[in-house]
Amino acid sequence: MKVPLKWLKEYIDITLPPADLADRLTMAGIEAKGTQVIGGNWENIVIGQIVAINPHPNADRLTLPTIDLDTEQLTVVCGAPNLRIGDKIAFAHVGAELIDGHSGQTIRLTSAKIRGVDSSGMVCSEKELGISDSHEGIMVLPPDAPIGTPLADS
């Protein structure tokens, strides 16, 4: 199980570097296999909120969610089954580096025309962000996640 350092800091005062903390946890009987820096490649990924969901005109399994990013609203093509109006999500702008959900390779997001509809961005799953292997739907963030904030800062 991966536990963000930020979560631990909500419960205890941590002054050690992450690698030292992992060593101390292991010595205390809580196995910590190591540390992993996440968010370093999360440039161009921000917190957004789904404000509308429309059907894709040319595909039954795709939708067109409109995402509020604080400074703008964008509509993109999405195939995730768990979209809900009001959900806070991780939104990748064109140029963001993500993990391809099928191949596992790192990709740089580009604009695309998907079944005849332009899409300049992506609502992300945990797998695409490199957090877990979960690719069944988008990653839903806590309701208090601040819209427009870089994901790496949240």
Q: Which whole-number Å values give the CA distances from 108 to 93, 94, 104, 105, in the listed order?
A: 10, 8, 13, 10
Give the model's confidence band at 9: pLDDT under 50 very low, under 70 low, under 90 confident, else very high.
confident
Model pLDDT, residue 12:
87
**pLDDT tens per residue across span 72-128:** 999 999 999 999 999 999 999 999 999 887 787 889 999 999 999 999 999 999 989
Q: Contact 32/22 with Cβ under 8 angstroms?
A: yes
- Structural domains in the chain, CATH included, are 1-36 (no CATH), 45-153 (2.40.50.140)
pLDDT digits (tens, 9 = 90+) for 28-44: 998 888 777 665 578 89
Residue type, 92: A
Whole-structure pTM value: 0.78
Nearest to 82 by CA among 137, 37, 45: 137
- Segment 41-52 shows an average pLDDT of 94
Residue 16 has pLDDT above 60, yes or no: yes
Which residue has tokens 């570097």? 17
pLDDT for the residue 40: 52
Q: Token match 């990653």: residue?
A: 139
